[in-house]
Chains A and B, each alone.
Chain A
Amino acid sequence: MIDGALGLDNGTIQIHTANYEANVTHLQKISKTTTLLKTLAENGISQYSTRIKTPALILAGERSSSVMLSGIIPEQEKKITFIHQRMTQGHYLTIDENSILMSQPLAKSLHLAVGDKTTLMLQNIYGQPVVKKITISGLYSTGLAAFDLSRLYIPLAILQEFLEVETGITEIAISVPAKTTKQITATLADQLSKKNYLISPWQDLAPDLVQLIELNNATFNLLVIIVFLIVTMGIANTMNSVIFERFHEFGTMAAIGCTPFNIISLVSLESFFLGVLGCLTGTLSALVVCQYLSHSGIDLSHFTSSNQYFVAGSVLKSIIQPKDVIIANLITLATALIAGLYPAIKASKLKPVDALNYT
């Protein structure tokens, strides 16, 4: 889900100029890009995309639409987003092609098609209006209407020329494993001047995603607690039934010389081994199912078609976490032991004659 959501546009870390403000129309160029890119290389970061993002108006005859125009280097962008995988017509951008990439819904609303020429209106670095005719090279569709209707892509060099910013960029999107994001963000923050750069991890870029993950975790934990309560009651009930059925046997054992402690020890040991057997069987079965689901996953596409968090992929795949396996097994084992202890103590407290006559 994280990969899917971040692969739409954000990447896992973004770098902007220090005084960057979102939703501001004027160009906020990053300074000293050469130094910045050198620092990224020194930290082993090779998957990044240098971009310019600027608002624009697209005109097609009597129709028009305001969009966010992203100037990208296509080969870099492929490492950050999955838009190139969602082409429906035409082809993805090439580095020096004077063309734009538009979503299919936007093209439909503007009555445009691949190969058509359209007009872009934007503001250059000096605040002067720029109007350019440009060809549509391809159409994409992410399935996310709000995104598709507002995003256009153009080769970075072409946009730099339109805006007269030479080699200037406004954003670098980086892709690193989500788990290492905070560490790499901290490293870059140490090495890069705070006066010049604003380094934002995906948690800052997509707080709604963080909230969703937290909500998801809380819901899942609640679900796990409910499942474990049901499992606990099941085990407790089974252990109770098994041990109460054997009261007569415990009476015989007491008659031939088993002390109450012997009986409690015996039942606890049996409960422990039953628990171990249950854990082994359960873990093995779960591993087989999880292994299968880690490849094939569970397809949620019928439920997630318009959800930005599932737009990259709506197949949930399982991940086996050793910590979860250990905790689940410990809970099961403890449950079996505790569930066996109550009837064991009860059996040990009965007079042998009462246990022998127990029906």
Chain B
Amino acid sequence: MPPIIELKTVSKCYENNHFSITALRNINLTVDKGEFLCIAGPSGSGKSTLLHITGILDTPSTGTVLINNQATEKLSRTAAAVFRRYHIGFIFQKFNLIPVLTAFENVEYILTLQHKTAEQRKRDVEKVLDAVGLSQFMHQKTNTLSGGQQQRVAVARAMVANPPIIIADEPTGSLDSVTGSALIDLFASINKQQSTTFIFSSHDPKIIQRANRIINLRDGEINLYG
């Protein structure tokens, strides 16, 4: 079976008139379907850049990113957005929920983009919010929820459309250790039950060790495969 994600000699360089910074250097990486992968490394090592390029939120300066064997770096903005809509779920460190919407509406939004019927959306959203233990909070505005609850809403939003890949950038970074550990338990459970590929980043050793595979980044280069 071909890998679900394949990065071939990917580099990313940020340049302007005054300076040039290389965030990633010749990254070669393959991720198989159903992997539970952690990108580890200190701050500034390129973890976020690698996740953004893998999730087609950014484009590499050189190299190729294949997802489901499709090259993504040449996709137009619209095509990339539609691709993400159906293939990749995102979880961010700061949750990135839309504060004026309820938990239900935040999760429902991606299904609206997928043109699901109201009945389908209701059924899927209720199911996924139940799975993350937020049934009783579904009609609350997200800014009234705790950090852990907000991150679970973000998880529900990432998994509601059943994407084959979920990318989480420092998902426990804004949570206390107990809540963070519970969140990784939730990831692991989804990974196990639905074979969803998880790629998450962290610099917390307790979180890192929960992954099935660990990639260690330093100065934009992979210096250790776990």
Q: Which of B59, B77, B78, B84 meets A256, CB within 8 Å?
A: B84
Give the residues in chain A near B140, CB-CB below 8 Å: none
The proximity string for B residues 86-115 relative to A, scoring 1 for CB distances below 8 Å and 0 otherwise, is 100110100011100000000001100110
Which residue on B lies nearest to A257, using beta carbons?
Answer: B85
Q: Do the beta carbons of B81 and A260 come within 8 Å of each other?
A: yes
Q: Within 8 Å of chain B (Cβ to Cβ): is A259?
A: yes
Q: Which of A248, A252, A259, A356 meets B77, CB within 8 Å?
A: A259
Known: A353-B52, A353-B58, A356-B96. A255 touches B78 (CB 8 A): no
Q: Within 8 Å of chain A (Cβ to Cβ): is B131?
A: no
Q: Do the beta carbons of A257 and B84 come within 8 Å of each other?
A: yes
Chain B nearest CB: distance from A145 CB in Å? 66
Q: Within 8 Å of chain A (Cβ to Cβ): is B220?
A: no
The proximity string for B residues 67-90 relative to A, scoring 1 for CB distances below 8 Å and 0 otherwise, is 000000000011001101110011
Give the residues in chain A near B47, CB-CB below 8 Å: none
Q: How many residues of B contact A (CB 8 A)?
A: 23
Q: Do the beta carbons of A249 and B98 come within 8 Å of each other?
A: yes
Q: Do the beta carbons of B90 and A255 come within 8 Å of each other?
A: yes
Q: Within 8 Å of chain B (Cβ to Cβ): is A261?
A: yes
Q: Within 8 Å of chain B (Cβ to Cβ): is A102?
A: no
Give the residues in chain B near A349, CB-CB below 8 Å: 77
- Distance of A255 Cα from B56 Cα, bound (Å): 8
Q: Within 8 Å of chain A (Cβ to Cβ): is B152?
A: no
Give the residues in chain A near B57, CB-CB below 8 Å: 254-255, 351-353, 356
Give the residues in chain B near A249, CB-CB below 8 Å: 96, 98
Q: Enumerate A315-359 residues with CB–CB distance to B below 8 Å.
A: 348-349, 351-353, 356
Which residue on A lies nearest to B99, using beta carbons?
Answer: A249
Chain B nearest CB: distance from A261 CB in Å? 7
Q: Do the beta carbons of B109 and A256 come within 8 Å of each other?
A: yes
Q: Do the beta carbons of A256 and B85 come within 8 Å of each other?
A: yes
Q: Within 8 Å of chain A (Cβ to Cβ): is B55?
A: yes
Q: Do the beta carbons of B96 and A257 come within 8 Å of each other?
A: no
Q: Do the beta carbons of A254 and B81 come within 8 Å of each other?
A: yes
The proximity string for A residues 248-275 relative to B, scoring 1 for CB distances below 8 Å and 0 otherwise, is 1101111111111110000000000000
Q: Within 8 Å of chain A (Cβ to Cβ): is B121?
A: no
Q: Do the beta carbons of B81 and A259 come within 8 Å of each other?
A: yes
Known: A351-B57, A352-B57, A356-B57. A257 touches B86 (CB 8 A): yes
Chain B nearest CB: distance from A8 CB in Å? 62
Q: Which of A251, A261, A352 meets B78, CB within 8 Å?
A: A261
Known: A351-B58, A352-B57. A260 touches B84 (CB 8 A): no
Give the residues in chain B near A248, CB-CB below 8 Å: 96
- Distance of A261 Cα from B78 Cα, bound (Å): 8
- Distance of A69 Cα from B110 Cα, bound (Å): 87
Q: Do the beta carbons of B84 and A255 come within 8 Å of each other?
A: yes
Known: A249-B98, A351-B57, A353-B58. A259 touches B78 (CB 8 A): yes
Q: Do the beta carbons of A256 and B58 come within 8 Å of each other?
A: no
Give the residues in chain B near A258, CB-CB below 8 Å: 81, 113
Q: Do the beta carbons of A252 and B96 come within 8 Å of each other?
A: yes
- Distance of A251 Cα from B109 Cα, bound (Å): 14
Chain B nearest CB: distance from A26 CB in Å? 84
Give the residues in chain B near A348, CB-CB below 8 Å: 77
- Distance of A113 Cα from B82 Cα, bound (Å): 95
Give the residues in chain B near A252, CB-CB below 8 Å: 92, 96-98
- Distance of A259 Cα from B114 Cα, bound (Å): 12
Chain B nearest CB: distance from A164 CB in Å? 90
- Distance of A262 Cα from B81 Cα, bound (Å): 10
Q: Do the beta carbons of A256 and B55 come within 8 Å of each other?
A: no
Q: Enumerate A52-75 residues with CB–CB distance to B below 8 Å.
A: none
- Distance of A249 Cα from B85 Cα, bound (Å): 16
Give the residues in chain A near B82, CB-CB below 8 Å: 257, 259
Q: Do the beta carbons of A255 and B113 come within 8 Å of each other?
A: no
Give the residues in chain A near B110, CB-CB below 8 Å: 256-257
Give 17 A-B pairs besides A259-B82, A351-B59, A353-B52 with Cβ atoms closer than 8 angstroms.
A249-B98, A252-B92, A252-B98, A253-B109, A254-B57, A255-B55, A255-B96, A256-B113, A257-B81, A258-B81, A258-B113, A259-B78, A260-B81, A262-B113, A348-B77, A353-B58, A356-B57
B residues at A contact (CB < 8 Å): 52, 55, 57-59, 77-78, 81-82, 84-86, 89-90, 92, 96-98, 109-110, 113-114, 157
5 CB contacts below 8 A, A to B, read A252-B96, A257-B114, A259-B78, A349-B77, A356-B57
The 9 lowest CB-CB distance pairs between A and B, nearest first, are A257-B85, A252-B96, A353-B58, A352-B57, A259-B81, A353-B57, A259-B78, A353-B52, A255-B90
